[in-house]
Structure 1
Amino acid sequence: WFRDSMGQLRPVTQTMRVTPSQDVLHIRHVSPEDGGRWVCRVSNQFGEQRLETQLTVTAQLSAHVQPQLQVVNSGDSATFNCSVTGSPIDSVHWLRNAESVAPISDGETSAGSRVRLLSQQVLHVSGVTRSDRGMYQCFVRNDRETAQGSAELRLGDTIPELQSTFIEQVLRPTSPVSLHCSATGSPPPQFSWFLDGEVLTAATVGHRYAIGQYVDQAGDVISHVNITSVRVQDGGLYTCKASNSLGSVSHAARLNIYGDMWMATTSPIHAVAGHDITIHCPYSGYPISGITWERRGQELPVDLRRTRGEGGSLTIGRVDPAVDAGSYTCTVRGNTGELARREIQLTVNNPPVMEPFFFPSSLQEGSRAQVTCSISSGDLPISFTWLKDGQPLPDSLQIEQKKGGGFFTFLVFNQVTSRHSGSYTCVASNSAANVNYTAQLLVKVAPQWVIEPHDVATLAGGSLVVHCQAQGFPQPQITWMRGQDRMSSEFQPLDYADGRTVLTPNGSLVIQSVGPKDEGYYLCRATNGIGAGLSKMVSLSVN
């Protein structure tokens, strides 16, 4: 007797439920897993015949979605598995918040390319957002009944999202004004306010300003800046910024106050080499007739790298410290011809540039190793941190961390073991940026016995399993051979063509309908190219 398993015929072995008895196959307590193609083969010295039977098992449908509750951070992925019992299964259908998630093509669904069916019973959501939260249901149907399971997706930590913002306004002196921003996020975001790029606090602007925030019943964080009586000096570009541990989001708009031109003092602007920077002109007064930018007494032309934005801001693309660092002068002209100027200092910081590093590909247990993380350019001082699999290096691994010259660091492995295998990340930080690089360390390990084979004796006509399992890296390959006697030096590979002898994926040897001809000596060998490998000879006796 044989059973179809993924297109291959596998011999039927006797179990507590399944009993092959010559021309009759008994299956006790039939379950849906027993459904499929069963084959009876009859043979003698003149040939063989086969008969196939398709067994269909009907059972009450049941569906369960796992995990039943997932708490996922914004941007991460979520996977739901619909475990189905019962038979037959005609269709599997998914709903999200009572709306269909129907497959379109190649697993993509009507909910979009972020929501995909990896199979009928596995739903995957990538880049989770607020719109993905809610209840997910798996419906299973046949022509007699329907079953359904459900699960909930909740958002964990999420990056802030602005829900409402303020607009540009034009006011007259002594008018009151209130600027509001609201945002969602988890953890709840904290708001910061800026005026022309400078941090705005009640302490810096006096008691005329009231700055605060609170959480409403919907869970939104609402922040405000209130000015009871505005002055010309209160004009400028106001920015609200909502931040939490995952990130930040900001909004900016001008507040224009009628009056003469006036320039606020401003701190030096810091830029990162190779990145874009926008410099705002810290002016107030309204109306104006124009804004100009100068450097070294010459008006800056508009070109591919230097552009002008709304409100007269200056944007420099891909900042070059040798060309762009220095003083910039912003000049604002009022409608009546009055002028206001302010010199702004731009400093450019160079981020670390890390050279890629690699571990030797031939490392075996017991070897020594060293890897160097070096910075080819970037402003000093530079601080270094090493991580293994995203976590600080465990002391138990006894890895030496050393630094040299302020611009490189290296790890020393006095004796590598399989426990050292993993991903190693070097993180370098300076005043401009943090950079990192990750390399894989794979330690090759010679085969080691998991289950060592032993001599066995069995009764004729039964089934036999001889265990032989090994571990190592790469995963060892198990080979079975047969010899003439215990002292034999010649072994021949086993022939699996007759279907009685099967090599299982874990390396164990299965022999069906054992007979006297199966008696003898068998050799199990485990090799992976590291070391000499393992081998063990066992005897098989048939009574």
Structure 2
Amino acid sequence: MAAGAAARDWVLVFSLWGAVVGAQNITARIGEPLVLNCKGAPKKPPQQLEWKLNTGRTEAWKVLSPQGGPWDSVARVLPNGSLLLPAVGVQDEGTFRCRATSRSGKEAKSNYRVRVYRKGSGDFHGATFIKGKGSSPSRAPWSPEIPGKPEIVDPASELKAGVPSKVGTCVSEGGYPAGTLSWHLDGKPLIPDGKGVSVKEQTRRHPETGLFTLQSELVVTPAQGGAPHPTFSCSFSPGLPRRRALHAPPIKPRVWDPVPLGEVRLVVEPEGGAVAPGGTVTLTCESPAQPPPQIHWMKDGVALPLPPSPVLLLPEVGPQDQGAYSCVVAHPSHGPQESPVVSISVIETGEEGLTAGSAGGSGLGTLALALGILGGLGTAALLFGVVMWQRRRRQGVERKVPENQEEEEEERAELNQSEEPEAAEHNAGGP
């Protein structure tokens, strides 16, 4: 059986003779067999030789010899000392070396630099490829696998000045050789410095095709006061002469320049927060922060299960709606900020002196105190007016009493005067 296997190998050698390459720089078509000749090797066993391979399939130099078994069906040494690659792949690009010692003790070395190409390509790089026995050498084409244009995935729509933010991830798939990715800002190259600009790169190779996938994630810290809409772009460079770079469509995220935090105000309508049963109360949270932050609502110190909104509407207010309300402004770069508290109260219809809600819990007490003072002053003024009116009335009565007495005395005097003449006349006419 060993003889039969050796015979089959010799038949394969002669059938593939046209693929034997003797030049130092060679090319091979992907998917087809390749035979590399070992110069100076004895034509018959036993042979003293070894092959060393350094390709995309090996982490370092790998050694093959006639006595060793086939290497994962990738390559094996034939009986004449030649190296057979049954099906050349992209990962077989690299360096092949053979060192052989003849029966007379003479040593010979063979070195090959193998590159692969795709069928139908038209690029020529000067390697000699022998078509068949006795035929003349011809120029063999070699072509890299150029991927499509790179793409920026997960692009950012907004960035914050002074805050490290991810711009996006540039992806290039299906290239060979690997090539490189690079970022640009407003047409100028971005150089990673680990501070304002950082790049995380990743390279993967397909286990079957040998083609590369590149990823490059860009994180920047925009300067405050910079351009509001910078232009970021990514490009793929094949790393080959006379090959143009491929550019991804640019993106223009908006840069927010946070301003110092101002006071958060909580406006209540109706003013004061006091409302009759069934009425409506509107709370509006005002914040000067930019960009507009998310606003959440709290009642009596507990977060309300409501979606973020700058306005809180309380329709058909009842006793269950009474309490202390506040809004919380969420600043991504500064942390949360809470507004002063506003008290909402329900006042039954007909009650006098409606009390008003108070900001921070103190406005209601102050307003109630003011109304109490005004009510006390009004009552005191009323009492004072009544007292004065009664006093004046009493003084008027006192004034009328003497006048009546004088009139009575005058009447009495007149009557006395009239009675005295009558008495005198009566006395004069008597017997």
In the superposition, the TM-score normalised over structure 1's length comes to 0.26
Asked which structure has the greater RCO (Cα within 8 Å, sep 6+), the reply is 2
